[in-house]
Amino acid sequence: MTSIQAQPFPYTFDPRRTALVIIDMQRDFIEPGGFGESLGNNVALLSAIVPACRAVLDAWREVGALVVHTREAHQPDLSDCPPAKRNRGNPSLRIGDEGPMGRVLVMGEPGNQIIPELAPVAGEIVIDKPGKGAFYATPLQGFLQEREITHLVFMGVTTEVCVQTSMREANDRGYDSLLLADCTESYFPQFKASAIEMIHAQGAIVGWTADSASLLAALAAPG
């Protein structure tokens, strides 16, 4: 077992039973011209976490533990995109519209791909999810059960939307989850800070939070 410094108290896990879950590090959220920018957001905030995410991903791959990538992605016919989601707000580009990186949030389009720095490699799981949470309408729980995974370490975007939703879904399914605070970002810094507090408040009501340095130190320590 490995134990690392975390909030509100140390997080203990067995890497063989733990998956690194990277939420929606897609061009649509991180690069100009995608869905995130079409909602009126400054995407530069999000790209700042890429080096920290890459360092964790490299260390995790070195250990040989499971990696899961998610993408917020809809079928080309939008049959899995409720009108309530497509019509929400006043985006300059709606889901399914043709944008500078192809059709927004549609599977297979250039903007829907994970950024090259964090691209999946053979043996890693890639989950296309139509909602904010990684478990809703996806095969994720079955894949984790097959591999006897009990703990999840989260990174990705955005903290208070898809990351927090996925952690709450994981919590209700019995997983012990850790969020790496410097490997997640929001278009709204105050929402990131609040989400992190909400997650570890009340004795880890949703899960734990820690800086990636704690995890990297533990993974590098001789086992």
Contact 43, 75 (CB under 8 A): no
CA 94 from centroid of its chain's CA atoms: 22
d(CA 82, CA 131): 10
**Considering only residues 22, 56, 106, 162, which one is a binding residue for ligand TIU as defined by CB under 6 A?**
162
Which of the residues 28, 81, 128, 129 is marked catalytic?
A: 129
Q: Is residue 53 annotated as part of the catalytic site, yes or no? A: no
Instruction: Report the residue number, 112 or 218, with the smaller CB distance to ligand TIU.
Output: 112
Nearer to ligand TIU, 69 or 216 (CB): 69
- 185 makes contact with ligand TIU (CB under 6 A): no
Cβ neighbours around 6 below 10 Å, total: 22
Kindly tell me which of 65 and 166 has the beta carbon lying closer to ligand TIU.
166
Residue 24 annotated as catalytic: yes
Residue of 162, 176, 183, 192 with catalytic role: 162
The token pair that represents 189 in the structure block: 């810094």
Q: Does the footprint of ligand TIU cover residue 38 (CB under 6 A)? A: no
Query: In which element (H, E) is residue 198 found?
Result: helix 189-204
170's enclosing H/E stretch is: helix 164-172
Which residues are near ligand TIU by CB under 6 A? 24, 29, 39, 72, 157-158, 161-162, 187
Residues assigned a catalytic role: 24, 129, 162
